[in-house]
Structure 1
Amino acid sequence: MDVITLTKENLEKEHICCAISNNKDCQVAAKKAWIARQLDAGLMFKKCDVRGKCFIEYIPAEEAWAPILAEGYMYIDCLWVSGKFKGQGYSTLLLDECIKDSRAKGKKGLAVLSSPKKRPYLSDPDFLRYKGFQLADTAMPYYELLYLPFDKTSGKPQFREQVKTPQSEQKGFLLYYSHQCPFTAKYVPLIENLAKDKGVPFQAIRFESKDQAQNAPSPFTTYSLFYNGTFLTNEILSEKKFEKILSEQNL
């Protein structure tokens, strides 16, 4: 299987795997615009030569849109292989590509956000541990920072202190998100409008820079929803799932 690396030259014509193929769709446009901005910062997006979810995205940890301290490491934003491509060794192929590239660039190792059990939009902990990743740090309520050191002298990455216990002082719903994931471009406005229709206090804050994201109040900067200061979920919500949350909060 050939592996394609996205560049400024081929970005517009390549399918980015995790959204529909129409470049005019708001999800695709938002994600490709985000990728284009990050390529100069060392972002790597490698995908198998297929039309589907079969890719890895990673970046030097110092440039990652993540509140971590991992100097000299490469940070994996996303490793996603799904559907008919699962079980064929593509996850290993893509991870090996990342390891090879990171070693060639003199990195200390890899770091990635996960959790004790598989959760939506977080990397699969079972696969990562099988590949030798170890626990570096934890943050409430379920986040784990895993790492794969390339030698014994590599220090452990860690979360920034402000995310160890995710919280916000604002009342009502507060959503932090970015266009690192294409799905936020579509689903954030949907639940924002639903909250407005129901008269529920709701504020959405989009991270537009690395510095903003690295100072986020929660480890997952792509999407983190709070209610009355308490972290609720990192799952990108449909209207139906948001209505369930509203019902649970008696709203």
Structure 2
Amino acid sequence: MEYIKVTKDNLEKEHICCAISNNKDVQVSSKKAWLADRFDEGLVFLKSVERGKCFIEYIPAEYAWVPIIGDGYMYIDCLWVSGSFKGHGYSTDLLNACIEDSKQKGKVGLCILAAAKKKPFLADPKFLKYKGFTVCDEADNGIQLWYLPFSSNIAKPQLRECAKHPHIEEKGYVLYYTSQCPFNAKYVPVLQQTAKDNGILFNAIHIDSREKAQNAPTPVTNYALFYDGRYITNEQMNDKRFLKLVKANSDRTP
């Protein structure tokens, strides 16, 4: 497999794996705009030359859009290999490239979000464990911070206090999201309109800066849905799945 690094110079002509379409597509344009602002902060986007979901995206932890403390670490935003690319060792290729690059840049290790049981849009804990990662911190909602130190006696990264107990005061459905994930550009407006059409109390909070992301009330900032103050899910959904979730919550209400 050949891989190519997406940079400012080739961003416009390269596909970005997680949203494969032309640059006029709102998902593609949103993601590429977000990437363009991160390259100077050290973000790396390494992907398959073939079209499909096979890539790794990582950035120095100090610049990560998640509430963690991990100076000297490299934070993996996303490692995604799916479809026909699965089962060929490409995840290992991409992770090894990240490790080598991070060591060359003087980083002390890697960190990434996952959970004890695989959750959509989060890293597979079985794969992380197989590759030597271990859990170094965990929030009340089961989201874990995993890390891979490059040497012994290295301080562990950790979740910021604001993210360890995911809870908010606002009632109704509240969605925190960033433009890091291209799907949000399409599906967040769908949920907003669905909520409006069905009289559902809903508020979408766009996290549009690193500072806001690093102080968010949830470890996962790409997409974090709360209901009546309680964290519900990080799984993105369309109108039908959202209405199904709303119905399930209504059925449980005394």
Tell me the TM-score normalized by structure 1: 0.98
Task: Return structure 1 stretches of 4+ with deviation > 6 angstroms.
Answer: none
Aligned length: 251
SS at match of 1:249: helix
- For residues 58 and 172 of structure 1, what CA distance do their matches in structure 2 show? 33
- For residues 106 and 250 of structure 2, what CA distance do their matches in structure 1 show? 53
Superposed CA offset, 1:224-246 (max 9, x none): 01111111110011111101111
- For residues 140 and 84 of structure 2, what CA distance do their matches in structure 1 show? 34
- For residues 151 and 244 of structure 1, what CA distance do their matches in structure 2 show? 47
Structure 2 residue aligned with 1:235: 235
In the TM superposition, 1:182-197 aligns within 5 A as: 182-197=182-197
**Is 1:207 matched up with 2:189?**
no
The one-letter amino acid of 2:11's match is L
Structure 1 residue aligned with 2:30: 30
Superposed CA offset, 1:99-157 (max 9, x none): 00000000000000000011100011101110000111001212110000000021111
Give % identity: 58
Structure 1 residue aligned with 2:148: 148
- For residues 107 and 146 of structure 2, what CA distance do their matches in structure 1 show? 16
SS at match of 1:169: coil
In the TM superposition, 1:93-172 aligns within 5 A as: 93-172=93-172
SS at match of 1:242: helix
- For residues 78 and 228 of structure 1, what CA distance do their matches in structure 2 show? 29
Contact preservation (8 Å) 2:53, 2:81: yes
Which ranges of structure 2 fall in alignment gaps of 5 or more residues? none
The one-letter amino acid of 1:24's match is K
Structure 1 residue aligned with 2:173: 173
- For residues 30 and 115 of structure 1, what CA distance do their matches in structure 2 show? 27
Structure 1 residue aligned with 2:218: 218
The one-letter amino acid of 1:94's match is L
- For residues 129 and 48 of structure 2, what CA distance do their matches in structure 1 show? 23
- For residues 4 and 178 of structure 1, what CA distance do their matches in structure 2 show? 25
Structure 1 residue aligned with 2:14: 14
Tell me the TM-score normalized by structure 2: 0.97
Q: State the 1:164 CA deviation.
A: 1.0
Structure 2 residue aligned with 1:2: 2
- For residues 45 and 20 of structure 1, what CA distance do their matches in structure 2 show? 15
SS at match of 2:38: helix
The one-letter amino acid of 2:29's match is A
CA RMSD of aligned residues (A): 0.9
Q: State the 1:249 CA deviation.
A: 2.1
Structure 1 residue aligned with 2:92: 92
- For residues 20 and 5 of structure 2, what CA distance do their matches in structure 1 show? 19
